[in-house]
Amino acid sequence: MCCTGFLKVMMFIFNGAIFLAGAAILGVGIWVTVDSDSLLGLVDKVVELPEDVFQLNYVGYVLIGVGAVLLIIGFLGCCGAIKESKCMLLTFFSIVLIIFIIEVAGGVVLFVFNDEVRDLRTDIQKNYGNENDMTQVWNTTMEQFQCCGYKNYTDFEGSPFNNAGDRYPSPCCDGTGPCTSNAAQTANIKGCFVKLLELLEENSAIIAGVALGIAALEIAAMVVSMVLYCDAGKKGK
């Protein structure tokens, strides 16, 4: 009984924090969606933002979705623990399990993402310099991370931008002169995917620690919910 009571209190505190975090994220998401223009102006005072790069309405919808899920999880965890509701505890366990499976699947997708290089290269060669939104996103990414293309400057060969002359995006070259194939080859700027891998490697300990911490919390939450579920079943007999 003492152990069960302790688990109920911990379950309530843990899910109460999740509930409050969900409420805060939901509130921010609603604010971003309803008042995106004023928020964009506020952010623009701190850092100059390129046009049509950040679609704050989409970000708002994502925040609303995440906040709503956290609210539901927190509510089910708190009420299920206090009321010893088998239905709520089982629903809580199922949702956390689904999230855990999605996270694992996402990690696997990241490992096999390298197989999609050909598709990204084809997209660059087909649309860069022709499709404004796609071109602007790539330009902003390359300027911010000081990288060139997905793997290197050769990704832009045969693109509408390159076909207009021996031209490559300016981030692919050093200096202020025209960015030609010779200049891009001499500069040898790393691709954005390579830069991303380097960033992940530099922060691998932090990323691994956070991932393991989140996984441990989710597994602990599922174990505790099942313990309380089984205890509630015994009391119901």
**What is the CA 120 to chain-centroid distance, rounded?**
19
Indicate the domain borders of the chain: 1-113+194-236, 117-190
pLDDT over threshold 50, residue 43: no
Contact 145, 191 (CB under 8 A): no
Q: What fold is seen in the domain 117-190?
A: Cd81 Antigen, Extracellular Domain; Chain: A (1.10.1450)
- What integer is the mean pLDDT of 39-53? 46
The region of weakest confidence among 148-157, 195-204, 208-217 is: 195-204
Q: Which pLDDT belongs to residue 94?
A: 92
In 3D space, the residue among 183, 101, 116, 181 whose CA is nearest the CA of residue 151 turns out to be: 116
pTM of the model: 0.61
